[in-house]
Amino acid sequence: MTPRLKAGIFVRALIRRAEVAGAQAYVVRKGSEEAGAVFLKVSRLDGSCIVLNQARAGDGELVWATQLGGPCDEEKARAYLERQRKFDPDLWIVEIEDREGRAFVDEKIV
């Protein structure tokens, strides 16, 4: 199993990576600096988005899991993330605005 970065370091690097590529990214909700779960909301700026969170595949590989069955509207994503926030107050929510729908993560999206 590969060691993980602290959540705060990962989020700051992700935002920088998105901005260098010409997208906008920002923290919607700041969680635990050390080990909070990270959720990404990738908005295509056309009213649709995808929500991703970190997970482990069966072989232990770190992946990003698509939530809500794939692309959805902004309101459905907002409601889902609010439910997750109530369940886990230490989570991070990062929103990426990119017309191409890029998540700017190295791991596989499943």
- Is 59 a domain residue? yes
- Is 82 a domain residue? yes
CATH number at residue 13: 3.40.1530.20
**Given the structure tokens 């700026």, which residue do they identify?**
45
- Is 106 a domain residue? no
More confident of the two residues 36 and 78: 78
- Is 18 a domain residue? yes
Query: Would you state the pLDDT for residue 1?
Result: 53
- Is 23 a domain residue? yes
Model confidence over 34-77: pLDDT tens digits? Answer: 888 999 999 999 999 999 999 988 898 889 999 998 899 999 99
Model confidence over 89-109: pLDDT tens digits? Answer: 899 999 999 999 999 999 999
- Is 108 a domain residue? no
Query: Would you state the pLDDT for residue 60?
Result: 85
Query: Total structural domains in the chain?
Result: 1
- Is 29 a domain residue? yes
- Is 110 a domain residue? no
**Section 11-29 average pLDDT:** 97
C-alpha gyration radius of the chain: 13
Range of the domain at 47: 7-97
Q: Which of 24, 27, 31 is nearest to 90 (CA)?
A: 31
